[in-house]
Amino acid sequence: MTVTDTAVVEKRTTPSTPPLRRRRSRAGRTPWLYLAPALVVLAALLAYPVYQLGLISLFRYTQAQVSGGEPTAFRGFGNYADVFSDDQFWQVLSSTVVFAAACVVSTLAVGCALAVLLTRVRAVPRLALMLAAMGAWATPAVTGSTVWLFLFDPDFGPVNRLLGLGDHSWTYGRLSAFFLVLLEVVWCSFPFVMVTVYAGIRSVPSEVLEAAALDGASQWRIWRSVLAPMLRPILVVVTIQSVIWDFKVFTQIYVMTNGGGIAGQNLVLNVYAYQQAFASSQYGLGSAIGVVMLLILLAVTLVYLRLLRRQGEEL
Amino acid sequence: MKLPTRLAALAAAALVVAACAPQTSDNSSSDTDDKTGTLRVWLFQEVGNKPKEQVVDSVVAAFEKAHKGAKVDVEYIPVDTRAQRVKAAFNDPKSAPDVMEYGNTDTAGYVQDGGLLDVTEDFGDWSEAKATDPTAKQSVTVDGKLYGAPFYVGVRALYYRTDVFAELGLHVPRTMAELATTARKIRAAKPELYGLVVGGAYTYGAMPFVWANGGELATGKSGSYASGIDSAAARKGITAYTSLFSDDNCPAAKCAGMGGNDTITAFAAGKAGMAIGGDFSHTAVEAGKVKGEYAVVPLPGVTSGSIAPAFAGGNNIGVLKSTSHRTLAVQLMEALASKKTQASLFDAMGFLPTFTDVRDQAAAKEPFVKPFVQTLTAGTRFVPASPAWSQIDSSLVLPTMFQEVVSGKKDVAAASAEAAKKMDAAFGSVG
């Protein structure tokens, strides 16, 4: 990253006159000097693990290799070939994408709607809603998943009793199991969206909203034409956050569908990687899946940022 | 970037990759064989571990007395995180124990990891080893070499509700076919109960059906295993097991996702007429609602009076390759897995001994274990002694197969063919 960025800076300075250039290049170096400590930390915490991930994904690297029982063997892209030739991988990948998309959309919708609601209600209900949301946010994923599972339990769960569903099993059908997990994911991730968007709305000047209201704009119209454009940077951040979170969901699926559902029907990429690779110490294969996930997430994020830029928003 | 630059970058990257392969630790066997010093031992932390500790403490005291200058440091490791602990021990021989307890299905994997010491000769010289049950011995054997001493075994048998059977005038099933009809009769008369509670993810409850019908998990021997799960006989067993997931016994919607513990929980809570449980499930059932109203018999086989082969689970005691006290560690292993220790552990914890003579004495003392000893005597089976097994196990090949059939996603032929393909791929990749 550092290398390409400097290259850009240099390219830009090429046409300028020599004395100016010297001054500029010194000016170009100073910011990097200031950034150096942060970059070193980032490199150690981010770049090095990613490098190791990529490196391991090229080797036959299992527990036997780690503990020295067998020599490490270079496989080139063999691990990737294994992953891509597995039909189940493609199936799991597509259900992960659809499931994550559904989670992101629902989380954003619920989070934004409740954030708007927060600005409309009095102090006491607002406090109650805030506390409830914080409670959901603070609940550990395993606990939350177990509690949700219990609520929908066919034998003892209150939901079935309330809806009069008898001993209907929610985790047996593929879609109903995914739906159940989606509810839990939305429940534990909407507070982040709500709080962030609420803070954003608070910082919008009240005259603007007042003017819109005076012009006779409806609630929905105000959100669409006034709030959403003004909150765009915040919405971008929460969307990317949610995409990354929901794409990587593990605990909820693992706990609620008992490790991927009946015959693996509810597997998502992270659980699949764990089962196929890490649980049986095939670190090479697991790293290959990890690299694929990383690339997908990077691509999604870049495309999203690109789209926004094209619309004229500088972030 | 222009093309040559790109190529140069690629070449540089390739160089970097070639220069630094991922880390490996040196786990070659240690040459030193100290006769004094501290021996570290890892044993599993059981539920209610106190009685086990007392037995082990007395073994350790006797050992330290017999070996001047030797000290034994026992640590009990939680069963849930044992895989991580053991991996860490293999990765860093300095912090590894000298002797450890391990699950018998892990043997082949640990051997391939290069963690366990070959004790074939020592085992042959050990006077007590002659009475070792052959299946238990098989569970420490990889490629004809022995990597530890069997510590205890566990097998499953049929638990049934005596009160329900008496009320409905049923007799104990003598064949597998009768087992299914009896289960349906219970469910028909008492719709709130499962007849025989079964689980789609309960591999070791399902395998006896496959084995009883003449099927095998895999055929061949170490290095050249081939899956046998799609043979005609195995398919017959799979059909027999999966047909139990029906509304007239154990509805698929509820039972497909169950594992072994779930079925025992259901039985202990009085929600099932019968269940397949191990000798190790005894405590859980005793603590449940059905205490005093159940009995255990061996799981019936295909023909009347036969016993379905059970899976021989259990634990072993092994010595780590990295130990610097080879002689002492092997002696300690023998002391921990000795007849005397196993007999006291049976009294303390109910662990079934791996020596046939000790086991018979135990059965005479405690009538409860009789059906389990009968099952063991009738012959048990073990998983393929291949490191591929841990891969097959953790990627849920067999539960997926059973669940595909149970939920109607695939028929027996397609599901078993798919499972066989996955198993063969695993065997092919690690041997």
Render pLDDT for B277-305 as a digit per residue (tens, 0 to 9).
999 888 889 888 999 999 999 999 999 98
d(CA B359, CA B347): 11
d(CA A127, CA A59): 54
Residue of B nearest to A61 (CA): B22
Lowest-confidence pick of A107-111, A307-311, B142-146, B238-242: A307-311
Residue A56 contacts B, CB cutoff 8 Å: yes
Mean pLDDT to the nearest integer, B16-33 = 64
In terms of C-beta density within 10 A (0-12 exposed, 13-18 middle, 19 or more buried), how is residue A37 classed? exposed
Number of separate helices (H) and strands (E) present in chain B = 20, 15
Tokens encoding A238: 């929460």
Contact list, B81 vs chain A (CB under 8 Å): none
Stated as kind and residue range, the H or E segment containing A142 is helix A141-151
d(CA B298, CA B371): 5
User: Looking at residue A278, what is its pLDDT?
Assistant: 79
Beta bridge partners of B75: B42
Closest CB from A66, A74, A259 relative to B91: A66
Sheet containing B294-297: give its strands across: B194-197, B272-278, B156-161, B294-297
pLDDT surpassing 60 at residue B9 = no
User: Looking at residue B1, what is its pLDDT?
Assistant: 40
Helices within A17-140 (DSSP H only): 18-42, 48-56, 63-66, 78-84, 87-120, 123-138
Stated as kind and residue range, the H or E segment containing B217 is none
User: Looking at residue B298, what is its pLDDT?
Assistant: 96
CB burial of B226-240 (b: ≥16 within 10 Å; e: otherwise) equals ebbbbbeebbbbbbb
Helices within A205-310 (DSSP H only): 206-214, 219-222, 228-230, 232-247, 251-256, 269-273, 283-310
CB atoms within 10 A of CB B262: 17
Residue of B nearest to A275 (CA): B395
Residue A74 to residues A64, A187, B13, B25, B397, Cα–Cα distance (Å): 14, 44, 15, 17, 27
Residue type, B217: L
Residue contact A56–B22, C-beta within 8 A: yes
CB atoms within 10 A of CB A20: 10
Residue contact B396–A167, C-beta within 8 A: no
Contact list, B22 vs chain A (CB under 8 Å): 52, 55-56, 59, 61, 65, 72
Between β-strands B194-197 and B294-297, what pairing exists: parallel, antiparallel or unpaired? unpaired
Q: Say what the ipTM of the complex is.
A: 0.74
- DSSP secondary structure, A89-119, as one string: HHHHHHHHHHHHHHHHHHHHHHHHHHHHHHH
Residue of A nearest to B28 (CA): A68
CB burial of A41-64 (b: ≥16 within 10 Å; e: otherwise) equals eeeeeeeeeeeebbbbbbbbbbbb
In terms of C-beta density within 10 A (0-12 exposed, 13-18 middle, 19 or more buried), how is residue B32 classed? exposed
Q: What are A205-226's pLDDT values in tens digits?
A: 989 989 998 998 888 898 888 8
User: Looking at residue B282, what is its pLDDT?
Assistant: 86
**Residues of chain B contacting A, Cβ within 8 Å:** 17-18, 20-28, 87, 90-91, 109, 112-115, 200-201, 252-254, 256-257, 259, 387, 390-391, 393-396, 399-401, 403-404, 406-407, 409, 430
User: Looking at residue B27, what is its pLDDT?
Assistant: 61
d(CA B176, CA B181): 9
pLDDT surpassing 50 at residue B51 = yes
CA angle B229–B231–B232, rounded 5-degree value: 130
Tokens encoding B164: 């329900």
Contact list, B113 vs chain A (CB under 8 Å): 63-64, 66-67, 69
Q: What contacts B188, CB < 8 A, 6 or more positions away?
A: B248
Residue type, A279: A
Residue A91 contacts B, CB cutoff 8 Å: no
Q: What contacts A70, CB < 8 A, 6 or more positions away?
A: A62, A64, B112, B114
User: Looking at residue B7, what is its pLDDT?
Assistant: 47
In terms of C-beta density within 10 A (0-12 exposed, 13-18 middle, 19 or more buried), how is residue B215 classed? buried
Instruction: Please state the length of chain B.
Output: 431
Tokens encoding A59: 């080797």
User: Looking at residue B118, what is its pLDDT?
Assistant: 93
The percentage of residues in chain B with a pLDDT greater than 70, rounded to a whole number, is 93
Between A175 and B222, the more confident residue is: A175
Beta bridge partners of B194: B272
- B240, B152 Cβ separation under 8 angstroms: no
Residue A259 contacts B, CB cutoff 8 Å: yes
**Mean pLDDT score of chain B, rounded to an integer?**
88
Residue contact A72–B391, C-beta within 8 A: no
Q: What is the pTM of this model?
A: 0.81
d(CA B85, CA B71): 22
Contact list, B114 vs chain A (CB under 8 Å): 64, 67-70
d(CA B236, CA B245): 15
pLDDT surpassing 50 at residue B25 = yes
User: Looking at residue A95, what is its pLDDT?
Assistant: 94
Contact list, B409 vs chain A (CB under 8 Å): 263, 265
Stretches where chain A sits below pLDDT 70 are 1-27, 311-315
Residue contact A74–B18, C-beta within 8 A: yes
- B30, B320 Cβ separation under 8 angstroms: no
Between B372 and A156, the more confident residue is: B372
